[in-house]
Structure 1
Amino acid sequence: MPEHGHYHQVLDDLRPQHRALRQLIPDVYRAFNDMSGAAMGAGALEPKVKELMAVVVGIVNGCDGCIASHAHAAVRAGATREEAAEAIGVAIMMHGGPATVYGARAFEAISEFADATEPKAT
């Protein structure tokens, strides 16, 4: 089994917690999933742009789970490190010093997920 970094672990740690809560409030989770699908689907903005926007909101709110989830989704949607860095720059401009901390965490998450998707040299 491949070794994963911190942000893979954040998602793994949250998975059983979400599963347990979803069993107690399935209608809330179903509605949230429907809203997420509507908000994040293809439209005038590409999904990777929307995911980078969500990463920025995670930075501003200091939410490692949000950063992990949306960094992973952003990379899957094709966001590059350079695009993520520019989005993080906007978060820093708008939120100041705290965004430099969570922005660095977000860049680490993007890099971790990007590294996991890149082919390994043989």
Structure 2
Amino acid sequence: MDVFEDFLNNIEDETHRQRMADILNWVEKTFPNLNKRFAWNQPMFTDHGTFIIGFSVAKKHIAVAPEEKWMDQFVSKVEAAGYGHGSHIFRIGFDQDVNYDLLKDLIEYNVEDKKDCETFWRKKVN
């Protein structure tokens, strides 16, 4: 059984479910080396046991969680794509196109930046 099947089946709105499935399938196809994991009520992808990116569904959007460090490198690209954001996530509205180039850049950045990471989350540096 696919690790995300139950999650997807619980998304009531069919168009929202399909949008999330499309994104998850795209990540899996584009980054076949990443591992799928369902934790903290969200589908996520990991690399050598470290978090790379996660997704969740809200009423009006899909939240994309690439971990907090993404802000420095990508906030201007997220804003240029028309997506709202917080410090840990950005939101793709169900009425917006998915910017797969942006997702690809974020995932590639996290894979490279965390290649030597030995923990699930990045350690905070004060």
TM-score by length of 2: 0.29
Q: Larger Rg: 1 or 2?
A: 1
Greater strand percent: which structure?
2
TM-score by length of 1: 0.29
